[in-house]
Amino acid sequence: MLAMSMAMPAQNVSFSKDADLAFGNDWFVVEPLSYLGYGYQIKSGYPDKAGYSDEFFMNAMELGFRPFSAGLIAIGVDWTMNTYRLDKTHLWGAEDNGKVWAREASTLPGNTALKSSRLRVHTFSIPLSFEIRAGKGAFRIGAAGEYNLPANVKNRTVDGGKTTKEVKKGIGVNEFTYSAFGAISYGGFGIYVKYRPSFQFAEGNGPHFNNLCVGLVLGLGM
């Protein structure tokens, strides 16, 4: 598709006014770095120890087909960084075998106090979506298949004014998950909702919870 689009006569190719790297014609479009977003994670099934959690995502490449002038069917490749935090009374505990759990901060030795605790998962996904545009406005819905890399835990503790950082890698997550999402934007600025019905952690490796994420997205409909 890339080579075919580049070989078309110049008068049939229209370049995006907002991104010089995007190109296509009346039917097809190829666009790198199409959008990015940031959202707040609402976790279901693990609410008693949950702290502020978030996600950041960025599109690497998107290929689109326009069945009509205001419509777009797109498939792409996204990268997402999910960060899960617990409240100040708990920290992530991790074993060398890849298991993770919520550990009470009161179990820390001596006068050691918890400063911060987070668990992070990097995900590559292939979203398939349908978008409708009206002027500067756009509405998009879709679903994505996701591949999750092993998670890592970082805990920071303080004892006598000295801060210690502990990092554990190789936490066993579910390698393959899926999600559904919807977004509405105007002039390239919008809001989105994403729901992941599948569990983040592999069976027996961590707490079972679903993710509902609400946040801001930039670049849709441009």
The predicted-structure confidence for 63-75, as pLDDT tens digits, reads as follows: 999 999 899 999 9
- Does residue 3 form part of some domain? no
pLDDT of residue 6: 29
Its pTM surpasses 0.85 = no
Compute the average pLDDT of residues 5-13.
32
With CA atoms as reference, report the closest residue to 54 among 42, 67, 65. Answer: 42
- Does residue 12 form part of some domain? no
Convert the pLDDT of each residue in 84-93 to its tens digit. Answer: 988 888 888 8
- Does residue 1 form part of some domain? no
pLDDT of residue 25: 65
Convert the pLDDT of each residue in 102-152 to its tens digit. Answer: 888 888 888 888 988 999 999 999 999 999 999 999 999 999 999 999 999
Which CATH number does the domain housing residue 122 bear? 2.40.160
Q: How many domains does the chain have?
A: 1
- Does residue 123 form part of some domain? yes
- Does residue 207 form part of some domain? yes
**Secondary structure of the chain in HEC code, one letter for each residue:** CHHHHHHCCHHHCCCCCCCCCCEECCCEEEEECCCEEEEEEEEECCCCCECCCEEEEEEEEEEEECCCCCEEEEEEEEEEEEEEEECCCEEEEECCCCCEEEEEHHHCCCCCEEEEEEEEEEEEEEEEEEEEEECCEEEEEEEEEEEECCEEEEEEEEECCEEEEEEEEEECECCEEEEEEEEEEECCEEEEEEEECCCCECCCCCCCCEEEEEEEEECCCC
Convert the pLDDT of each residue in 145-190 to its tens digit. Answer: 999 999 999 999 998 889 999 898 888 889 999 999 999 999 999 9
pLDDT of residue 22: 53
Residue 193's domain comprises: 27-218
Compute the average pLDDT of residues 19-26.
55
pLDDT of residue 19: 40
- Does residue 13 form part of some domain? no
In the predicted model, is pLDDT for residue 10 greater than 80? Answer: no
- Does residue 177 form part of some domain? yes
- Does residue 112 form part of some domain? yes
